[in-house]
A and B are shown apart, each in its own frame.
Chain A
């Protein structure tokens, strides 16, 4: 089982991502509604992947990526950015901070899973 943390402030989109992962099988998902929740959830288990939105209140996705990448315990966890084409600049910044990839909403399940599988070493 690969542990995946989904950080996204839309419950419905979190559900869609979770369902995609569940259908593919082999993933255990944790969900965080915002950056604070993500910070709280991070130590709860050893995550193999973080999928995060950029635009969130309080702590945004870039700040979360910056935190993960500057933290000894988490820096090796691959990150995928889920965002919209509007956030072109922000996406570039996320990649510069060390995210392994990004996917643009609305995305197809297949594209998401291709990226996820690449991130966790494929199956």
Chain B
């Protein structure tokens, strides 16, 4: 049954399934290491691969179907407790998942499938070594209605037996709901029960009254009736302990198993819901500002007495509470960057093996927190930097040995919080970037017009590798020859309002530093005005505001610069950057000194308009790629202003021009 129409659906669905399976596997590895494996996770993994197999089969993709069939079989044996989760099993699972992902790519690209016999043989060896288990008589040790037993799947029956074997309590939780709200009701109940134990099955039943719908949930838990009953104290829910037939005294009073408690009180929230909340907070800030203005007006009218004082106090109170809400929401968005570091560790392992190199990955600062959305968007650029380091940076073991280095190369991934920013570095101890080679390659590709020399223009030369169309690799390798260049890395980092820097030393290694704001959801901005137009500048990148006389500005090589302490800082007039009419002649100008990482730029503006919390909104698609602008925000009074993209302004100034 082959049809072309849903093939895109197949690819998307297959990739989704494999990605979620890989995530489950990583969690499983952690759990295995900690000695506490969640059976639900193993079952989820089994179900993913089961779905994948069905999918591949339906689309006539024999090779992926065969391999997933084998993998499914292995996972089935694991979830039924017939095969243990040892190191070799986990490593085989990881490799086979990787192979499946490649097969999907190959089918998408219309390429022939690679050979899978190595992988299937490996699974066969694991299956051959399995231990035997399974007891039929276990079910007779509890008194459960046949109508319940006969709808259990084989897996559910296995979990039931495990629960009986572990001498846990078995409860039947019966709940009834109206038809309109059963889904949310049953999901909430399930979540609560999962905090106490394992849900073995959920059976829908016709409700006694005819209207609505009933459910019987079978729960295995080490906890007693009281604990369960108090957490599900609802009129429509009843609780029934399944009696054991093999002992007179029910195990209900047994001590609680502490490990079960760690199945935490968390809720999963779609981050876009938090975005909406944050938008509302931004609007509240605007309202707060208006109240502040009214308070000030009232004070002007009647002096600081009576309601003027009350309004002032209320305004301050509102401000404090609002900041608390804002911090609360931000805190929820923050996740440790370690989430992606773990995923990257897997990548390093696989790529190093493919490349025939020996690599140790060192990770530091994985607890550093960053906005969830940004963490996800960082995964690709970091992966590319690491692939580059393994592929181009680190030499094969024998070459390293000849150079007097240890045979194992080091890739170091670190994250360090720096105030409102986070600094992430990817460092290797490889051969470093060959500057003369970069230079000649750029010339050859026509990417370079002026003269640069290796002595004085290190930074400019290194920046060349971020240009679209640049690559120094002589052979396109399996590893980094996948069509993503450093220009994409840079673009991804820029999209997060971040900056990327390189340092390198021939023979000693290369260091990439990515500097990012910790969140893009809401931030304080400086509102400035130039030529009658207002702009918002993220306060996180404002270092200093200077009042300067026009004669303090010098011109060097037709660029305006000024001396600030020991530094010479390039200047940019916003009127020039955005083609605005020249502002009025003023005795003194404002220079906003902005900086990200080590780079500085002075923005020349007419006047300052105060500070404000802003929630940035994307521009429409027609304006989305305007250099120097990252979005728009509303200031209250329905005034919409553009938010400056400091990173691209600095970048543009470094290149001497801003593309319009």
A residues adjacent to B (C-beta < 8 A): 9-13, 15-16, 19-20, 35-36, 39-40, 43, 53-55, 57-60, 62-67, 70-72, 84, 86-87, 89-90, 93, 96-97, 105-109, 112
Contact = CB atoms under 8 A, between A and B. Distances in A.
Given A15-B6, A19-B3, A63-B202, A106 B152 contact: no
A45 B584 CA distance: 73
B13 A10 contact: yes
Nearest to A90: B153
A66 B151 contact: yes
A43 B190 CA distance: 24
Interface in B22-80: 44, 47, 50-51, 53-55, 57-60, 65, 69, 72-73, 76
B486 interface: no
A21 to B, nearest CB: 12
A105 B54 contact: yes
Given A15-B9, A106-B57, A10 B147 contact: no
Given A66-B150, A106-B1, 13 more contacts: A10-B55, A16-B3, A36-B182, A55-B47, A63-B203, A63-B204, A70-B147, A70-B206, A86-B76, A89-B154, A90-B153, A96-B150, A106-B60
A123 to B, nearest CB: 20
B9 A12 contact: yes
Contact of A84 (B50, B147, B150): B50
A65 B76 CA distance: 23
B638 interface: no
A60 B153 contact: yes
Contacts of A59: 202-204
B377 interface: no
Nearest to B52: A10
B183 interface: yes
Contacts of B6: 12, 15-16, 19
List 3 A-B pairs, minimum CB-CB distance, nearest first: A106-B57, A66-B151, A105-B54
A84 to B, nearest CB: 6
Interface in B175-214: 179, 182-183, 186, 190, 201-206, 213
A121 to B, nearest CB: 24
A109 B53 CA distance: 18
Contacts of B182: 36, 39-40
Most central of A60, A63, A108 by chain B CB within 10 Å: A63
Contacts of A108: 1
A113 B204 CA distance: 29
Given A36-B186, A84-B54, A71 B206 contact: yes
Nearest to B206: A71
A16 B57 CA distance: 12
Nearest to A108: B1
A42 to B, nearest CB: 10
Most central of B3, B72, B154, B204 by chain A CB within 10 Å: B204
29 contacts: A10-B55, A12-B10, A13-B55, A16-B58, A36-B183, A39-B213, A55-B47, A55-B50, A57-B47, A58-B190, A63-B151, A63-B204, A64-B204, A66-B151, A66-B204, A67-B206, A70-B147, A86-B73, A86-B76, A87-B153, A90-B153, A90-B154, A96-B150, A105-B54, A106-B1, A106-B57, A106-B65, A109-B1, A112-B1
Most central of A66, A106, A107 by chain B CB within 10 Å: A106
B5 interface: yes
A107 B13 contact: no
Chain B binding surface, main DSSP class: helix
A63 B147 contact: no
Contacts of B205: 67, 70
A54 B9 CA distance: 21
Contacts of B190: 58
Contacts of B204: 35, 39, 59, 63-64, 66-67
A33 to B, nearest CB: 12
A53 B53 CA distance: 13
Contacts of A106: 1, 54, 57-58, 60, 65
A99 B55 CA distance: 23
Given A10-B55, A67-B203, A19 B5 contact: yes
A40 B153 CA distance: 22
A86 B57 CA distance: 13
Contacts of B213: 39
Nearest to B213: A39
A108 B50 CA distance: 19
B1 A16 contact: yes
A62 B153 CA distance: 7
A9 B206 CA distance: 23
Contact of B151 (A13, A16, A65, A71): A65
Interface string B495-531: 0000000000000000000000000000000000000
Contacts of A36: 182-183, 186
A93 B150 contact: yes
A12 B151 contact: no
Nearest to A39: B204
Contacts of B58: 12-13, 16, 105-107
Contacts of B3: 16, 19
Interface string B154-171: 101000000000000000
Nearest to A68: B204
Nearest to B203: A63
A86 B69 contact: yes
B147 A66 contact: yes
Contact of A93 (B10, B72, B153): B153
A24 to B, nearest CB: 12
Contacts of A12: 6, 9-10, 13, 55, 58-59
Given A63-B201, A71-B206, A10 B54 contact: yes
Interface in B125-155: 147, 150-154
Contacts of A70: 147, 205-206
Nearest to A75: B206
B151 A62 contact: yes
A1 to B, nearest CB: 23
Contacts of B59: 12
Contact of B203 (A43, A66, A93): A66
Contacts of A40: 179, 182-183
A110 to B, nearest CB: 9
A87 B546 CA distance: 74
A86 B69 CA distance: 8
B133 to A, nearest CB: 16
A66 B201 CA distance: 13
A90 B55 CA distance: 19
A11 B147 contact: no
Nearest to B183: A36
A72 B76 contact: no
A55 B44 CA distance: 10
Contacts of B60: 106
A62 B152 contact: yes
A84 B68 CA distance: 12
